[in-house]
Amino acid sequence: MNVIEGWNMYLDIQDLKKMHFNVSQISRRLDLSRTTVYKYLI
Protein backbone atom coordinates (compact mmCIF):
# COMPACT_ATOMS: atom_id res chain seq x y z
CA MET A 1 0.00 0.00 0.00
CA ASN A 2 1.34 3.39 -0.88
CA VAL A 3 0.86 6.63 1.04
CA ILE A 4 -2.10 7.84 -1.00
CA GLU A 5 -4.00 4.56 -0.57
CA GLY A 6 -3.38 4.66 3.18
CA TRP A 7 -4.55 8.26 3.40
CA ASN A 8 -7.71 7.46 1.40
CA MET A 9 -8.45 4.50 3.68
CA TYR A 10 -7.99 6.74 6.72
CA LEU A 11 -10.41 9.31 5.30
CA ASP A 12 -12.97 6.62 4.41
CA ILE A 13 -12.85 5.23 7.95
CA GLN A 14 -13.18 8.68 9.50
CA ASP A 15 -16.14 9.55 7.25
CA LEU A 16 -17.98 6.34 8.14
CA LYS A 17 -17.33 6.93 11.84
CA LYS A 18 -18.84 10.42 11.53
CA MET A 19 -21.93 8.75 10.00
CA HIS A 20 -22.19 6.68 13.22
CA PHE A 21 -21.09 3.34 11.80
CA ASN A 22 -19.51 1.08 14.38
CA VAL A 23 -16.15 -0.66 13.90
CA SER A 24 -17.66 -3.95 12.72
CA GLN A 25 -19.80 -2.19 10.13
CA ILE A 26 -16.84 -0.17 8.87
CA SER A 27 -14.65 -3.27 8.60
CA ARG A 28 -17.31 -5.15 6.62
CA ARG A 29 -18.05 -2.20 4.33
CA LEU A 30 -14.37 -1.53 3.52
CA ASP A 31 -13.29 -5.21 3.64
CA LEU A 32 -10.72 -4.55 6.38
CA SER A 33 -9.99 -6.27 9.66
CA ARG A 34 -11.38 -4.70 12.81
CA THR A 35 -7.84 -4.24 14.13
CA THR A 36 -6.98 -2.15 11.06
CA VAL A 37 -10.07 0.00 11.59
CA TYR A 38 -9.15 0.50 15.25
CA LYS A 39 -5.61 1.48 14.22
CA TYR A 40 -6.91 4.23 11.94
CA LEU A 41 -9.46 5.49 14.48
CA ILE A 42 -6.87 6.26 17.16
In the chain, domain spans? 3-41
Provide the 3-class DSSP secondary structure of residue 21. coil
Read off φ and ψ for residue 22, nearest 5 degrees: -90, 175
CA-based R_g, the chain, Å: 9
Confidence at residue 12, expressed as pLDDT on a 0 to 100 scale: 97
Tens digits of pLDDT across the chain (42 residues): 799 999 999 999 999 999 999 999 999 999 999 999 999 998
Q: Is 0.85 surpassed by the pTM of this model?
A: yes
